[in-house]
């Protein structure tokens, strides 16, 4: 199953210290509730920036997600 969502992956230094991004669990839960059971893709930082250039370009098309 191909990922339906992507996040910027942790930097190596954060991986080394086993940093956990708790909000990723929330994102996964929300996607599951919406019927998308695929894993969230983790994209290397610079690749993520490149992909973001192709994201929604509609005026005022930005979205900020707030936990809680």
Dump pLDDT digits (tens) for 4-17.
889 999 999 999 99
- If one counts the domains in the chain, the total is 1
Res 62: pLDDT:
66
- Nearest 5°: the CA angle 40, 44, 50 is 100
Alpha-carbon distance of 37 to 61, in angstroms, equals 25
In this prediction the pTM is 0.74
Per-residue confidence band for 58, with pLDDT thresholds at 50, 70 and 90: confident
In angstroms, the Cα distances linking 57 to 47, 50, 52 are 18, 14, 10
Bridge partners for 43 per DSSP: 8
Contact indicator for 5, 41 with CB cutoff of 8 Å: yes
Name the residue range of residue 59's domain.
1-68
């Amino acid at each position: 199953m191909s990922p339906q969502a992507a996040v910027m992956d942790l930097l190596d230094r954060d991986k080394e210290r086993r940093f956990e991004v708790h909000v990723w669990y929330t994102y996964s839960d929300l996607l599951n509730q919406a019927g998308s059971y695929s894993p969230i893709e983790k994209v290397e930082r610079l690749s993520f920036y490149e992909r973001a250039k192709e994201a929604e370009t509609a005026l005022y098309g930005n979205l900020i997600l707030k936990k809680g």
